[in-house]
Structure 1
Amino acid sequence: MIPDEPAPDAPSRRSVGAPAERDGEVPGGPAGRGRLVLSVAAVACAVIGLIALAAILLTALLGGTVWPGFVLASYFCLPIAFLLMAALVVLSALARRRS
């Protein structure tokens, strides 16, 4: 190859025989879509729980009365988020083991 010659095209990352992904389609089919929904739910629960926990700490720091809804949100959302994330780890390990 001479310095002025254009570089050859890079090989495609898609393996031979693998179907091309369509726009808007989650890789892995329905199983990939289920993991996506599970991960979005886990992140949403974690964010809600952490915001509620921050509100509890801020209210206590300012010497106010803590609203029980914040306590309930942190009591339920954080453990649910943890369990969903643990389920995602297990599902990913099982999927990796199958392939």
Structure 2
Amino acid sequence: MIPDEPAPAHSPDPRHGTGDTQDGRSRGRSVVLILAVAFAAVGLVSLAAILATAFLQGTVWPGFVLATYFCLPIAFLLMAALVVWSAVSRRRS
């Protein structure tokens, strides 16, 4: 193949399947990513509510405290799992 020649069209190899497993893996990774972002957003919004309430010298609702205590660590663990998942998938390919 010369440099100016277009690459040949890639035909799926029937021995390796249709690629549905790759789509399933990326879909699973997307779900974990969305969950991590959602937990982080809820945790940060509740943390901001705690700080605003404390700044205004009000009584902090315990639900905000619980949301901050649980959502932020869960988001961190999900993000760490995504990093490990990505490293493992790169190592396999």
TM-score class, shorter-chain normalisation, is 0.7 to 0.9
Q: TM-score, normalised by structure 1?
A: 0.74
- How is 1:53-92 mapped onto 2 (pairs within 5 angstroms)? 53-92=47-86
CA distances 1:10-43 after superposition (whole Å, capped 9, x unpaired): x68xx83469xxxxxxxx3111010000000000
Quote the residue 2:90 is aligned against.
96
Quote the residue 1:47 is aligned against.
41
- Percent identity, please: 65
Quote the residue 1:22 is aligned against.
none
For residues 30 and 72 of structure 1, do their structure 2 counterparts lie closer, same or farther at Cα, with a shift above 3 Å needed? same
Q: Could you list the runs of 4 or more consecutive aligned residues of structure 1 that deviate by over 4 angstroms after TM superposition?
A: none
Q: How many residues align?
A: 81
Q: TM-score, normalised by structure 2?
A: 0.79
Consecutive unaligned residues of structure 2, counting only runs of 5 or more, are: 1-5, 14-21
CA distances 1:43-68 after superposition (whole Å, capped 9, x unpaired): 00000000000000000000000000
Consecutive unaligned residues of structure 1, counting only runs of 5 or more, are: 1-10, 20-27
Indicate the RMSD between aligned Cα atoms, in angstroms.
Answer: 2.3
